Structure 1
Amino acid sequence: MRRQKLWKPVALWSLMLGSFCTKADLVVLQYHHISDATPPSTSTSVSLFQAQIELIRDLGIEVVDLPSATETVFSGNPPAGQRIAITFDDAYESVYSEGADILGESSLPYTIFVDTQAVGSHGYMTWDQLRELAERGGVTIANHTAGHGHLARKPDEAKEDWKKRITHSLDYAQATLEKQLGTSAPLFAYPYGEFDQALEAEVAERGWFGFGQQSGAIGPLSGKTRLPRFPMANAYGKLDGLEEKLNSKSFPIDTNKLPDGIITSNPPTLTLPPSDAIQPERLTCFASGMGRIEFDATDKGVSIKAPEPFNSRRFRYNCTHPAEDGSFYWLSQQWLDLSQPED
């Protein structure tokens, strides 16, 4: 049951909220295929992609280079105004044949996260195509592992074996990108959006930013190795509701303090710490496949738990809260059930 109890006086809430709204937030969009003929779950049709880019242009939101924009978020002095970065996972051929031309017409920057082991395979770009794109202005090529494996430590996997496996996947891919393209961007995208705290530590040790597949905007309180992106496949990138995502604000809590998502009980409980910027009666939360769910709010925080267990490997709790400028704070917590089979 939802208990509607304020954590802090409204005056303090308004003061804190205003300070967040003056900061620029970064919304990162995540794509896979740009095609009408590839699997719908990971595809954005060409017409929808064109419409999304047109909407961004009509809204007047700046599309920025991901490496520098991410650095700027954590610089202590981010610029005012909403910003958007565009990313593609896996380096599918359709990004080269369709997406690159659409973005090139407007000279928009973007990032391609590459599974180096798949390059040249059927449906993927070749090294020559990646090299051609890398030479264009505003195109960043970054690490998406060698092999696109599930990197969170498996329940029966020895720590030493896990360490060896992920070290090869991360470092071999980075070395390959540097050898083939002369690039070593400090960016990493987790395959399937799966990570645990140990994997985050490895990403942090390398000085990389880590990007997941949970939705939300990036702000100064975002965890640098668990940065959100909005999936833009057909089912999630529809124009109806897209403007709210493009203008969303990062949730005003330190996401480093949230769990890494590896569940120990099903359904899991997510606890949000008290925040001057959040009023529980204005908070709305959803669970994958279950729609809107209730939560408990006390002076110790908000406790969110789905009403029944999940039967999938990955699922999410999504929460939104109105921001002062008419946009929404957006938080997505991805959960990972390691007892479920890998994709």
Structure 2
Amino acid sequence: MENKAIQLATRIKRKTLKMRSFCFLCALLICVTAKGDQSAVVSVYHHVSNSTPPSTSLSPEAFRAHLTFLAENDFTVLPVTEIINELNRGGELPSKSVAITFDDGYESIYSTAFPLLQEFGFPFSVFVSTGPIDRQQAGYMTWEQLSMLRDAGVIIGNHGTEHRSMLGQSRDEARADILDAQSRITAELGPQPHLFAYPYGEYSNESKEIIAELGFVGFAQNSGAIGPTTDQTALPRFPLAGLYAGLEGAALKYSTRAFDAEMTLPLSAETRLSAPSATIRFGAGAYSRERLTCFDEGEPMAISWEKTGEGSEQAVISTTQRERGRRWNYVCTAPHRDQGGYFWFSQPWFDSSKPL
């Protein structure tokens, strides 16, 4: 069932750009044909600045390079709500559809990213933490600036009140955090689509249940494209900052396709293990099983296959023990059989016993 709140954003016109090829990157990626698709990529940025924390920042010059790549290579940049609506309808998206999002509500989004996105005619969304904005905390946008973004057609999403991880909150606390933030957004900006980005990208089964119960679409921060079968309580987004801000990597990620895939075991992304095995169901697609590879922090993983009895196959992927932080991902990719780009799926893991 479509999220009714998402339909509020349909006033935003899709921006389709047909321009010349960006030659060396197209040669690298092997240009994708112009057929319709049921796959899209959502990116996430934070700061666009040379003077903010490097791990969540990219320079204005690097951000312009990303936008130029999209413009010169026939990508269709859409509001994220339009992508979700089309996937829910079972319709076809334009080939190479992408959505651009920002988390937190930092001032450089307004002062630097917004003018560049207007220059290129690209729609985008911003997920805001309402507490710092209410306090007029240094480095964050003001409600007045956010109202100007809203008037320009920017979607303002929910990132909680105080950027608290969903892990460790009680059910009542998590619900209140989401609803309080949405109430502040509505009070200042009027009704906005019910979209929620998990702080730090962290979620539990319980927090996903809350997102569904409240009628929100949830967004995480693990890599991967989205398609009709992707879990809409925790949609992946490609982070493109810090070590991942380079143009070659961004070009590869913007060109990816969605697997029909889900982890079936274990039943939760929360773990205390440093090397959990995972069973992932892979549905049919325009890829060869023999060319599917999975990685743990860049290292190849062992893969064994088993039939599910439903026309699909499951891959059991395993890795070696290693030191971990609080968050990490397993990544599986396979080249498209006929066109350019890669299918891409990632499984995040969260160990809430470790510090943020």
Structure 1 runs not aligned, ≥5 long:
1-20, 155-161
Deviation at 1:298, TM superposition (A): 3.7
1:141 — aligned with what? 156
Q: Distance in 1 between matches of 2:243 and 2:316?
A: 29
Q: Which has the higher contact order (CA 8 A, sep 6+)?
A: 1
Q: CA deviation at 1:275?
A: 3.2
Match of 1:130 in 2: 146
Coordinate RMSD, CA, aligned:
1.9
Give the Cα–Cα distance (whole angstroms) in 2 for the partners of residues 197 and 331 of structure 1.
19
Where do 5+ consecutive residues of structure 2 fail to align?
Answer: 1-34, 309-313
Q: Percent identity?
A: 34
Map 1:203-242 onto structure 2 (within 5 A).
203-242=211-250
* Aligned equivalent of 1:10: none
Q: Report how far residue 94 of structure 1 moved.
A: 0.6
1:5-84 matches, cutoff 5 A: 23-84=37-98
Q: Is the 8 A contact 2:332 2:346 kept in 1?
A: yes
- CA gap 1:275/1:72 in 2 versus in 1, 3 angstroms: closer
In the alignment, structure 1 residue 315 sits paired with structure 2 residue 321: no
Residue 243 of structure 2 aligns to a residue whose secondary structure is coil
| 2:172 alignment counterpart | 164
Q: Following TM superposition, by how much is the alpha carbon of 1:256 offset from its aligned partner in structure 2, in angstroms? A: 8.1
**Shift in Å, 1:185:** 1.2
Distance (Å, rounded) in 2 between the aligned partners of 1:60 and 1:255? 33
Letter in structure 2 aligned against 1:210: G
Give the alignment partner of residue 295 of structure 2, picking from 286, 289, 297. 286
State the Cα deviation string for residues 164-197 of structure 1 (Å, max 9, x = none).
Answer: 2112210000000000111331111000000011
**CA distance in 2 between partners of 1:133 and 1:275 (Å):** 40
Secondary structure of the residue that 2:131 maps to in structure 1?
A: coil
Q: CA deviation at 1:309?
A: 3.3
Matching residue's letter, 1:281: E
One of 180, 191, 203 as aligned partner of 1:183 = 191
Measured in 1, the distance between the counterparts of 2:307 and 2:264 equals 21
Could you tell me how far 1:264 is from its partner in structure 2? 4.6
Q: For 2:324 and 2:50, how far apart are their aligned partners in 1?
A: 30
Partner of 1:9: none
CA distance in 2, matches of 1:255, 1:171: 29
Q: Is the 8 A contact 1:28 1:87 kept in 2?
A: yes
> 205, 210, 214: which is aligned to 1:202?
210
Structure 1, residues 56-89: CA drift from partner, whole Å, max 9, x if none?
0011101101112212112112334121111000
Matched residue type, 1:54: T
Superposed CA offset, 1:223-276 (max 9, x none): 011101000103113111322211211112246887441115331111112533
Q: Deviations over 1:72-131 (max 9, x none)?
A: 112112334121111000000011110000001122100000000011201000111111
Q: Counterpart in 2 of 1:305?
A: 318
Letter in 2 for 1:275: G
Whole-angstrom CA distance in 2 between matches of 1:124 and 1:95: 9
Question: In structure 1, what is the Cα distance between the partners aligned to 2:74 and 2:289?
Answer: 32
Within a 5 Å distance, the mapping from 1:100-139 to structure 2 comes to 100-119=114-133, 120-137=136-153, 139=154
Tell me the CA shift for residue 198 of structure 1.
0.7
Match of 1:117, SS?
Answer: helix
